[in-house]
């Protein structure tokens, strides 16, 4: 995770971004660079994942191939969403920052991003969950109390 954070920090600084957020395909934030307390990362991540999914569906319906990036420009901010494996890299740029430069910087580091994401996924997949050896009754006890059943007939 440290290598991935360092890589995202590097992209953030080189692109002079306002904010950078790495998101999983389900819309959950993985990490952030340039974290701004005024930005609701959870909402931004969810909306970015939904936007990528909707755009990908439109591309497929139009007969196109896989979507690699998406950008939205307003009068004072530009959003760049870049698919990197199963993740999404979201950058918030000022309107005076170069969208082409930001895309180039992400593409230049895409292989390193993929390598770091793969390593992180392997580490989390191999991690032992405390629930792996728990019985159904023990798990239900976590939610309903130690001796209560979710079914009132029991």
**Does the residue 50 lie in any domain?**
yes
**Does the residue 68 lie in any domain?**
yes
The domain in which residue 98 lies consists of 2-112
Tell me how far apart the alpha carbons of residues 101 and 55 are, in angstroms, rounded to a whole number: 22
Burial class (CB in 10 A: 0-12, 13-18, 19+), 114: middle
Number of domains, the chain: 1
> pLDDT (tens digit, 9 = 90+) per residue, 101-143?
888 888 898 888 888 888 887 777 665 656 566 777 776 777 7
Report the Cα–Cα distance between both ends of the chain, in Å, rounded.
46
**Does the residue 24 lie in any domain?**
yes
Structure confidence at residue 21 (pLDDT): 92
**Does the residue 152 lie in any domain?**
no
Spans in the chain with pLDDT lower than 70: 1, 35, 125-133, 139, 145-154
**Does the residue 37 lie in any domain?**
yes
Query: Residue 83: which H helix or E strand, with range?
Result: strand 77-84
- CATH number for the domain including 85? 3.30.450.30
Structure confidence at residue 68 (pLDDT): 82
**Does the residue 135 lie in any domain?**
no
Phi then psi dihedrals of residue 79, to 5 deg: -105, 130
**Does the residue 66 lie in any domain?**
yes
**Does the residue 35 lie in any domain?**
yes
């Amino acid at each position: 995770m440290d290598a991935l954070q360092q890589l995202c920090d590097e992209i953030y600084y080189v692109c002079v971004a306002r904010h950078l957020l790495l998101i999983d395909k389900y819309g959950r934030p993985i990490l952030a660079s340039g974290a701004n307390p005024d930005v609701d990362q959870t909402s931004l991540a969810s909306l970015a994942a939904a936007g990528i999914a909707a755009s990908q569906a439109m591309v497929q319906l139009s007969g196109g191939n896989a979507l690699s990036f998406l950008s939205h420009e307003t009068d004072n901010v530009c959003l760049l969403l870049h698919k990197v494996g199963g993740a999404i890299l979201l950058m918030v740029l000022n309107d005076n920052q170069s969208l082409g430069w930001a895309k180039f910087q992400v593409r230049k580091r895409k292989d390193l991003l993929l390598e770091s994401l793969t390593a992180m996924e392997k580490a989390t997949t191999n991690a032992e969950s405390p629930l792996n050896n728990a019985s159904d009754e023990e798990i239900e006890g976590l939610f309903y109390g130690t001796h209560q059943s979710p079914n009132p007939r029991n």
